[in-house]
Amino acid sequence: MLRDVAFGLVASAITVAVALLLPSAARIPLLGVSLGVAAGVYPGFAYGGTSVRERGIQWAVTAAFALVATAGIAFSAWWIAIGWVLHAAWDGVHHAGRRGAWVPAHYPMFCLTFDLVLAIYAGFLAGGGAA
């Protein structure tokens, strides 16, 4: 579990470092696109042996995160910060009980860590942070 948290920290640090290398106007779009990609991982996992209903749920949730990310890019970075927090909560839903038994064992703590670090960074940018 500690290793998964460490990987989440490293992956989020790399994402933030890439953002810092970009012009400031490109940082929020990067975090928005990253949110969509993170949400899109679950439908991919779901094809590994779940029902059509479960795959439909995963695609619907992915679409919802894509809309939140789009709102963040178009209107306010706060939407992206909220989206990352909601994605962390969605991770929790997957791993509480039977839903998400098809998700690799290492993924919950990795994703939770990654999501929350990016939520903090997106909130920093939304609040007018320059970095």
**pLDDT tens digits for 16-49?**
999 999 999 999 999 999 999 999 888 888 887 7
pLDDT-based confidence at 125, cuts 50/70/90?
very high
* pLDDT for 131: 52
Contact yes or no for 31/71 (Cβ under 8 A): no
In 3D, which of 12, 5, 29, 4 has the Cα closest to residue 115?
Answer: 12
Contact yes or no for 77/64 (Cβ under 8 A): no
* pLDDT for 53: 87
Q: For the chain, how far is it from start to end, CA to CA, in angstroms?
A: 30
Q: Which residue has the tokens 């306010």?
A: 76
Contact yes or no for 110/5 (Cβ under 8 A): yes
Please write the tens of the pLDDT for every residue from 69-124: 999 999 999 999 999 999 999 888 776 655 566 777 778 889 899 999 999 999 99
Domain boundaries along the sequence of the chain: 2-126
Host H or E run for residue 124: helix 107-126
